[in-house]
Amino acid sequence: MRATRRSVCACILLLYFLFSVYAAYCVFFSSRKQEILKAGTNFLEGNLHPLKVEELKRNLEPSEEEWNPWEEDDKVENILLQQRRKTNLQALRRLISNKTKEHKVQIWGKAAIGLYLWQHILEGSLAPYDTAAQWREGELKLGKLQFSFITGPSVVPGRISLEVKNVVLVLNGREEGKITFATQWLQYAQALVESNKLHNVAVMLLGSEQCNNDWIQPFLKKYGGFVQTLFLIYDSPWVNGEDIFQWPLGVATYRNFPAVNPNSLMVQSSRPYLCNFLGTVYKNSSRVSLMKVLSQEGLDQDCIIVAREQWLPKEKHESLRRYQDALLQSDLTLCPVGINTECYRIYEACSYGSVPVIEDVMTPGNCGNSSVSHRTPLQLLKIMHAPFIYLKNWKELPAVLEKEKSMTLQEKVQRRKDLIEWYKWFRVQMKQMFVNITEMSLFGN
């Protein structure tokens, strides 16, 4: 009886051992299984009846439902690995596309306001440094956008490389002759868009001082044209914050007014003059009234006043230096209206910490209605809370200058700091605005 039990146990252990070996064989030697099966069937084909061979083949071939303890985990792992590889490949393709395809913008500077944009707002440099050079260029990366800038007399249609498909065209539309020149550039850009050599175009326009800009409407996308975005200088009822945006006039770069870096001496020093005005006095203008007020009150002794009867487009080095010194030596800069309320003098005074005293009246034309909006004129500057002094009439000036005389140096220094900091902040805001609008309008990001 004991021998029988011993035999049974031995058989069970032997079967268990054989099963374990078979299981291990199935798992670890499956790569050899097909070769063994093939060899076995070849042997059988040579020694058995064909029908019997086929039956044995069916019995020996592995079942599709044959169990593998690691099979499901392997399948899941393979699926996840394939998905991960696919996702990484798509991300790499997007990265390459973003870097090389859609984010390069070239600025064609065909008006002096382009230099204010590039050097004063975007803080880019140009080579060569010589302002009289025929061709000047620079590059700058801001956020996702890689900007390049070209300017100079040699920048003409046909000589521009068209590797970049997205362009901001800077134009002057102030007067008839300038409009003709600007129209030629717009027609050139339109032909490039129609031939698929350019994809996206924005325009920065020095508009008419009386805001008569209807000539550009046919080129705007909203009127069936190709210009997607317009940055427009001077107040205008066209400005909507969607495809037309107001842009500041800035400093007179056409007269080589520089980008000023304020120092402690500029800020802290006492200035010998209360105010300054160096400019053209047009007949029958409010500037005549300003001159009368200054002379009658004897205030011309407290201010630097250099008046001329005729406007001079070109600035000599000596006259530019004299003007800069006047800004630097005066606490206030008088800004009477010309054809438009906005003038270069406002921004030039800010550069030197001399507070602009602005004649806050609307000039004739189509730039807006001050009775409808309290922010016109100078809507952009008022929205940005410019720390200026506003007058409706120059007869108010004597009271302003009397107040100046009573201010301490400490008070004036603090006001100067506030003005310089505001102007720095203003330029940063304009930079961010330009980059954001360009990115959204040209690329839809």
* Domain boundaries of the chain, sorted by first residue: 103-233, 254-426
Q: What is the pLDDT of residue 281?
A: 92
Residue type, 428: V
CA distance 245 to 438: 11
pLDDT for 317 equals: 84
Nearest-CA neighbor of 332 among 348, 355, 352?
Answer: 355
Domain 254-426 superfamily per CATH: Glycogen Phosphorylase B; (3.40.50.2000)
In what helix (H) or strand (E) does residue 185 lie, and over which residues does it extend? helix 176-194
What letter represents residue 262's amino acid?
A: P
How many Å separate Cα 99 from the centre of its chain? 16
CATH class of 103-233: alpha beta
Separation of CA 315 from chain center? 32
Q: In the 8-state DSSP scheme, what is residue 246?
A: E
Q: In degrees rounded to 5, what are phi and psi of residue 114?
A: -65, -30
Strand partners, 50: none
Residue 118 CB partners (closer than 8 Å, separation 6+): 107, 109, 124, 126, 138, 149, 151
Q: Which residues in 405-444 belong to E strands, given as ranges? A: none
pLDDT in the model for residue 8: 57
Q: Please tell me what DSSP assigns to residue 339.
A: S
**Rounded Cα–Cα distance for residues 179 and 171 (Å):** 9
Closest to 391 measured CA to CA, from 364, 355, 427, 425 = 355
245 Cβ neighbours under 8 A, 6+ residues apart: 229, 230, 231, 232, 239, 433, 437
Same fold yes or no, 103-233 and 254-426: yes
The whole-number mean pLDDT for each consecutive block of 10 residues of the chain, a chain of 445 residues, reads 58 64 53 43 44 46 47 54 64 54 87 98 96 96 95 94 94 96 97 96 97 97 97 96 97 94 94 96 92 90 88 77 96 96 97 98 89 82 98 96 96 98 98 96 79
pTM of the entire structure? 0.77
| Residue in 389, 360, 381 with CA at minimum distance from that of residue 423 | 381
Greatest pairwise CA separation for the chain in angstroms = 143
Helix (H, G, I), strand (E, B) or coil at 429: helix
Distance CA 195, CA 200 (A): 12
| CA-wise closest residue to 292 among 407, 398, 148 | 398
Q: What is the pLDDT of residue 430?
A: 98
359: helix, strand or coil: strand
- pLDDT score, position 287: 94
Residue 369, helix vs strand vs coil: coil
